């Protein structure tokens, strides 16, 4: 002991009476629900951990208060006081509950971030009139207009226009996805530089975003299987402890020294106090806290079962783009065939200007980094799944895109065959430029690794 406590005699009795009343306050207010639940279980002839906590702490308090009130008439062996045991048991189990609530609070923050992705209003076209209405008023079948840079309010199918949609909040893929007439779009995603009109197909909680939100909300109330195991253990443990306490009392009453009644009460009370499930009450919440960890801002735990299953993982599959890489493609290689660099890049600058495609952005940035001017072109046309084409002012055909686009136009790619093979072996995406039917340039585009990728992979390997 780090400090001494007075004997429950004289002024010492007043000291312990104050301690007892303070402990009663802990039992009656913070610990009240243990006794309420124990009483409900008793009425249904059931017992759980709340029953054991209530019996242990209640018995310890009653016995200790009896010692304080009747200490002069009790033998020394019976003058043990256990107020601190009652307060400590309640405190430790409430600490476990607080840790569990903290873990759920982090899930609440994740839920709030998901709700922030939901638009508050939608621009709907009804009876030929465009009007902005509350998101709850949008109905399936409504035509919704989305302007460049706006967040989509509901799920639907594109009816007019084309654009690139940032779906990273749903898929984790940082590269925008091209959307044309007939394609599906989702609420919470962000429109690029094109305008779209789409027909609402799913609204409210039926949207993909709504379903994800519902999953996160249900995860707050889910428990890991180990929590259910603790309940199963308690269903056997609690009656066993009660039986042991009764047997201990009978044993000391019949075989113990004088005074038998005092020794019976002391030993039975000791069994109940020692058996209070502090460790079991803390084990599940603390394991949940450690499992969720300090990175809940970047990880959504779908359920308690998923969290426990994660401890058995042997293989981790990672989406490369935007996770291991920067998610921003850039030109890493450029091969020229009979043209000046400034000429080739000025044509690329002109052809890719205004395009939302990620590869177009990479080529544009490369041209700007090399201070390439914008060439004059005419008859611009975009080829879906291929690239773009146009003409110079003097009528020369321009093609910029993949190998299929150039081959279909009859362009011979043999001049860059070896370079293309070498770049493909380095996992580069190839973009060809042809001028007047001849291969003019070959660009290798890649998504560079993040600066911390190698270190992160090594940490994962070390942890495994």
**What CA–CA distance (Å, rounded) separates 170 from 187?**
9
As a whole number, the mean pLDDT across the chain is 83
pLDDT in tens, 59-108: 889 988 988 888 888 777 677 788 888 898 888 888 877 776 776 666 56
Q: Give me the pLDDT at residue 110, please.
A: 62
SS (H, E, C) 205-274: HHCHHHHHHHHHHHHHCCCCHHHHHHHHHHHHHHHHHHHHHHHHHHHHHHHCCCCHHHHHHHHHHHHHHH
Domain boundary assignment for the chain: 11-106+223-285, 116-218, 330-446
- Those residues whose C-beta lies under 8 Å from the C-beta of residue 183, and which sit 6 or more positions away, are 157, 158
Under CATH, which architecture does the 330-446 domain have?
A: 3-Layer(aba) Sandwich (3.40)
Q: Give me the pLDDT at residue 438, please.
A: 92
User: Any idea which residues carry the catalytic annotation?
Assistant: 319
Q: Give me the pLDDT at residue 74, please.
A: 76
Same fold: 116-218 with 330-446: no
Q: Give me the pLDDT at residue 220, please.
A: 62
H helix or E strand, kind and range, residue 284: helix 278-292
Q: Which residue has the higher pLDDT, 280 or 46?
A: 46
222-258 CB burial, b ≥16 within 10 A, e <16: bbbebbeebeeebeebbeebbeebeebbeebeeebee
Question: For 148, phi and psi rounded to 5 degrees?
Answer: -55, 135
Question: For 371, phi and psi rounded to 5 degrees?
Answer: 55, 40
> Could you tell me the two tokens for 190?
């962000």
Give percent of the chain above pLDDT 70.
84
Q: What is the mean pLDDT of residues 127-143?
A: 90
Q: Does the structure show a pLDDT above 70 at 111?
A: no
Neighbours of 413 (CB within 10 A): 15
Q: Give me the pLDDT at residue 52, please.
A: 80
Q: Give me the pLDDT at residue 202, please.
A: 92
> Could you tell me the two tokens for 437?
């039917």
Which residue, among 118, 276, 301, has the nearest Cα to 210 in the 3D structure?
A: 118
pLDDT in tens, 272-325: 878 776 666 666 666 666 655 544 545 666 666 777 777 787 887 876 666 777
Q: Give me the pLDDT at residue 155, please.
A: 94
- Mean pLDDT lowest for which of 137-151, 217-231, 259-273? 217-231
Is the domain spanning 116-218 CATH 3.90.380.10? The answer is: no
Q: Give me the pLDDT at residue 1, please.
A: 42
Q: Which residue has the higher pLDDT, 118 or 172?
A: 118
> Could you tell me the two tokens for 31?
């610990």
3-state secondary structure of 330: strand
pTM of the complete model: 0.54
Tell me how many degrees the CA angle 8-11-15 measures, rounded to the nearest 5.
70
Which residue, among 205, 199, 168, has the nearest Cα to 184 in the 3D structure?
A: 199
The CA radius of gyration of the chain, in Å to the nearest whole number, is: 36
Q: What is the mean pLDDT of residues 321-348?
A: 86
Q: What is the mean pLDDT of residues 213-240?
A: 72
Q: Give me the pLDDT at residue 430, please.
A: 92
Q: What is the mean pLDDT of residues 373-384?
A: 86
Q: Give me the pLDDT at residue 345, please.
A: 92
Question: For 440, phi and psi rounded to 5 degrees?
Answer: -110, -30
Q: Give me the pLDDT at residue 336, please.
A: 92
Q: Does the structure show a pLDDT above 90 at 198?
A: yes
Q: Give me the pLDDT at residue 201, please.
A: 94
Q: Give me the pLDDT at residue 270, please.
A: 82
> Could you tell me the two tokens for 305?
């079962």
3-state secondary structure of 78: helix
Q: Does the structure show a pLDDT above 70 at 361?
A: yes
Tell me how many degrees the CA angle 287-293-294 measures, rounded to the nearest 5.
155
Q: Give me the pLDDT at residue 61, please.
A: 92
Classify the C-alpha dihedral 317-323-324-328 as positive or negative. positive
Q: What is the mean pLDDT of residues 398-411?
A: 91
Q: Give me the pLDDT at residue 108, please.
A: 62
Q: Give me the pLDDT at residue 125, please.
A: 92
H helix or E strand, kind and range, residue 367: helix 358-369
Query: Which range in 87-91, 183-187, 352-356 is most confidently predicted, on average pLDDT?
Result: 183-187
């Amino acid at each position: 002991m780090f400090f001494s406590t007075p004997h429950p005699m004289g002024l010492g009795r007043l000291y312990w009476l104050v301690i007892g009343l303070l402990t009663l306050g802990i039992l009656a207010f913070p610990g009240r629900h243990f006794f309420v639940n124990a009483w409900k279980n008793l009425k249904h002839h059931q017992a759980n951990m709340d029953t054991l906590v209530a019996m242990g702490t209640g018995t310890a308090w009653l016995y200790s208060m009896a010692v304080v009130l009747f200490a002069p008439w009790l033998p020394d062996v019976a003058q043990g006081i256990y107020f601190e045991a009652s307060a400590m048991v309640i405190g430790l189990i409430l600490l476990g509950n607080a840790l569990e609530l903290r873990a759920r609070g982090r899930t609440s923050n994740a839920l709030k971030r998901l709700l922030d992705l939901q638009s508050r209003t939608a621009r709907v076209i009804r009876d030929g009139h465009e009007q902005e209405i509350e998101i709850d008023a949008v109905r399936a079948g409504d035509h919704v207009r989305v302007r460049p840079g706006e967040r989509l309010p509901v799920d639907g199918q594109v009816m007019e226009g084309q654009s690139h949609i940032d779906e990273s909040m749903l898929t984790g893929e940082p590269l925008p996805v091209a959307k044309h007439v007939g394609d599906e779009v989702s609420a919470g995603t962000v429109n690029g530089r094109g305008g779209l009109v789409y027909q609402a197909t799913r609204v409210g909680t039926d949207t993909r975003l709504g379903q994800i939100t519902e999953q996160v909300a249900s995860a707050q109330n889910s428990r890991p299987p180990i929590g259910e195991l603790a309940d199963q253990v308690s269903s056997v443990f609690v009656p066993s402890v009660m039986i042991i306490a009764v047997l201990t009392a009978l044993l000391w009453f019949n075989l113990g020294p004088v005074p038998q009644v005092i020794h019976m009460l002391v030993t039975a009370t000791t069994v109940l106090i020692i058996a209070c499930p502090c460790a079991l009450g803390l084990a599940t919440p603390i394991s949940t806290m450690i499992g969720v960890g300090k990175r809940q801002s970047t990880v959504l735990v779908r359920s308690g079962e998923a969290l426990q299953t994660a401890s058995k993982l042997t293989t981790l599959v990672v989406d490369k783009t935007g996770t291991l890489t920067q998610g921003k493609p850039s030109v890493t290689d450029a091969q020229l065939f009979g043209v000046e660099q400034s000429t080739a890049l000025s044509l690329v600058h002109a052809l890719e200007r205004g395009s939302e495609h990620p590869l177009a952005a990479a080529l544009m940035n490369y041209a700007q980094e090399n201070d390439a001017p914008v060439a004059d072109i005419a008859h611009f046309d975009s080829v879906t799944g291929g690239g773009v084409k146009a003409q110079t002012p003097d009528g020369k055909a321009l093609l910029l895109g993949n190998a299929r686009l150039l081959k279909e136009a009859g362009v011979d790619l043999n001049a860059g065959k070896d370079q293309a093979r070498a770049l493909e072996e380095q996992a580069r995406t190839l973009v060809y430029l042809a001028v007047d039917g001849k291969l003019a340039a070959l660009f290798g585009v890649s998504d560079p690794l993040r600066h911390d990728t190698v270190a992160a992979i090594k940490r994962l390997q070390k942890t495994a």
